[in-house]
Amino acid sequence: MAYLLYGAANQLARHPREAVVRKARADRFRHLLSARDLDIEDVDAFCQVADEFEAGFVPTHLSGRTVALLFFQSSTRTRLGFETAAVALGAHAIGMEDMSASRTNARVGESLEDCAAVVSRLCDAIVVRHHEPGVAARMAAKSVAPVINAGDGWNEHPTQALIDIYAMRRGLGTLRGKSIAFGGDPRGRVVRSLIQLLRFEAPREIVFCPPPRYGIPPDILTALIENQISFRIITDIRQALTDCDAITMAPYDMSEIGEPAASGFVSPHQTPESYVITLDKIEQTGSRALLYHPLPRFEEIDPSCDLSPNAMYFEQVRLSKFMRMAVLDRLLSAS
């Protein structure tokens, strides 16, 4: 049961939605900046509300609210996902197509703090993505509206981690006792946030298949050790296809995540064959491992896999709408 506030089972069956809203209005956090802010009750509640939205629940209490999308770093799925979620809740999404044209840029020099102070007085919530770690927290400190971190450099991407947990729970039934693999660059913000949520799921082990030039970040290893989650490192993705229940992939090199805007950096996306998942490898290993990816992908999952029953990454995108609705609903209901 996600929240003690739900009370008796018959009360939960009659009014699950109202209970979640009441809890959200008395919530203990105002912004969503880090997966570290969440506990298992939060994750369970977000997943429950996402299920209700998928089942067709149509809220009315958020009609006419406004969500500002401040994407200083490029985005497709996250930007459109939050816009779609806002519209589905009856809210309005506002923002600039190109944040480099705003006053908050290197040429004009308006501070991010002032940007937050201004924009938060024109909306009911802010969703921000930026190439610098810590920007979401800086803006939250000056915002009078809730701030949602949609990715801040190498640091975190908590809503994507919620989406990944939601999608894996749906695919696997439970993550308890399962072997979960991470393929590709382990330094990305999605991995960092997802590890924080996996500590609630009691997986049997975490398996990394990283490029040899990038080690597992020390803070990720520390989180695994502190939460007594076993982990190991492999060098060929076939081992993950053979041994693991789910594989969440990432590009072989995620260096552009931490690059400043218009830096001219081009990531070396070419992926060695031993790190690429193909339909042939799935068939050769007889793998039943479910494949997840926050996207965009490059060579790490070949398009030949797309129609395989293993492929869950496009279903993951479909489910992301409902989780983003749940996040917006909770923070807007509490504000």
pLDDT digits over 164-200, tens only? 999 999 999 999 999 999 999 999 999 999 999 999 9
pLDDT score, position 10: 33
- Which of 5-14, 190-199, 289-298 is the least confident region? 5-14
Average pLDDT of the chain is 88
Give the integer Cα–Cα distance in Å for 247 and 238.
11
Q: Could you give the percent of the chain with pLDDT greater than 90?
A: 77
pLDDT at 334: 84
- Minimum mean pLDDT range among 12-21, 97-106, 144-153, 274-283: 12-21
Please give the Cα distance from 36 to 204 (Å, whole number): 21
Answer yes or no: is pLDDT of 101 > 90: no
Going by pLDDT thresholds of 50, 70 and 90, the confidence category of residue 110 is confident
More confidently predicted of 245 and 2: 245
Instruction: Say yes or no to pLDDT of 41 above 80.
Output: yes
Q: Return the pLDDT at 136.
A: 97
Distance, in Å, from the CA atom of 65 to the CA atom of 61, rounded to the nearest integer, reads: 9
- Report whether 333 contacts 62 (CB < 8 A): yes
141-146 mean pLDDT: 98
pLDDT at residue 100 above 60? Answer: yes
Are the beta carbons of 287 and 247 closer than 8 angstroms? no
Sheet containing 147-152: which strands, arranged edge to edge?
Answer: 92-95, 66-71, 125-130, 147-152
Q: Going by DSSP bridges, is the β-strand pair 231-233/147-152 parallel, antiparallel, or unpaired?
A: unpaired
Residue type for 33, please? L
- Does the pLDDT of residue 306 top 60, yes or no? yes
Query: In angstroms, rounded to a whole number, what is the distance separating the alpha carbons of residues 188 and 32?
Result: 18
Is the pLDDT score of 116 beyond 60? Answer: yes
Q: Write out pLDDT tens, residues 212-267.
A: 888 899 999 999 999 999 999 999 999 999 999 999 999 998 887 766 666 666 66
Res 19 pLDDT > 80: no
Helices and strands in the chain, H and E counts: 12, 9
The domain made up of 158-317 has a fold known as: Rossmann fold (3.40.50)
The pTM (predicted TM-score) of the whole model is 0.90
Percentage of the chain surpassing pLDDT 70?
Answer: 84
Q: Collapse the DSSP code of 28 into the 3-class scheme (helix H, G, I; strand E, B; otherwise coil) and give the result.
A: coil
Intervals of CATH 3.40.50.1370 along the chain: 25-156+320-334, 158-317
What would the mean pLDDT of 311-333 be, rounded to a whole number? 97
Residue 107's pLDDT band, with cuts at 50, 70 and 90, is low
Q: What is the pLDDT of residue 255?
A: 82
- In terms of CATH architecture, what is 25-156+320-334? 3-Layer(aba) Sandwich (3.40)
How far is Cα 143 from Cα 120, in angstroms, rounded to an integer? Answer: 5
How buried is 222 (Cβ within 10 angstroms: 0-12 exposed, 13-18 middle, 19+ buried)? exposed
Q: In the sheet that 246-249 helps form, which strands lie side by side, from edge to edge?
A: 231-233, 205-209, 179-183, 246-249, 290-292
